[in-house]
Amino acid sequence: MTGLTLKNLVVIGIGGSYLAIEFVYEALRNKYPSDRKLRFLANVDPVDFARATEGLDPHETMFLVNSKTFTTAETMLNARTARRWLVENLKGILHFKTNNKDIKKKRWLRRTCAPAQPTWR
């Protein structure tokens, strides 16, 4: 962990996996702290990833990969891109938390799983 406060959340998903979160955010937008950024990423176009992360400090950014199965190609491509962005910018500091035991078996996550979980302060 970097010790910095998390200020940015990027939600990765496709279809219903991210739309529900976006709808709640839109409904509560006026109550959302102005110093926090919430962005959504569903398209696999590299330009969309660049837009979603533009101006974000990786030390203050968390990605939420929202998927039931973690097998949707678009979601997993964006998750791998986010992982690469974090690893390159944080020099290997990366934490992962899941409630799904099968997800921890995924090869691309095994190397980065840690017992700690960043908290949204």
Q: Tell me the mean pLDDT in the region 66-72.
A: 82
Q: Give the span between the Cα atoms of 21 and 26, in whole angstroms.
A: 9
Q: Give the predicted TM-score (pTM) of the model.
A: 0.75
Residue 83 burial (CB count, 10 A): 18
Per-residue buried b or exposed e for 37-55, using 16+ beta carbons within 10 Å of the residue's own CB: bebbbbeeeeeebeebbee
Which domains occur in the chain, in start order? 8-110 (3.40.50.10490)
Angle, nearest 10°, between helix axes 73-90 and 46-53? 50
For 87-111, the pLDDT digits (tens) are 888 875 565 655 566 655 555 454 4
pLDDT of residue 22: 87
Is it the case that residue 36 has pLDDT exceeding 80? Answer: yes
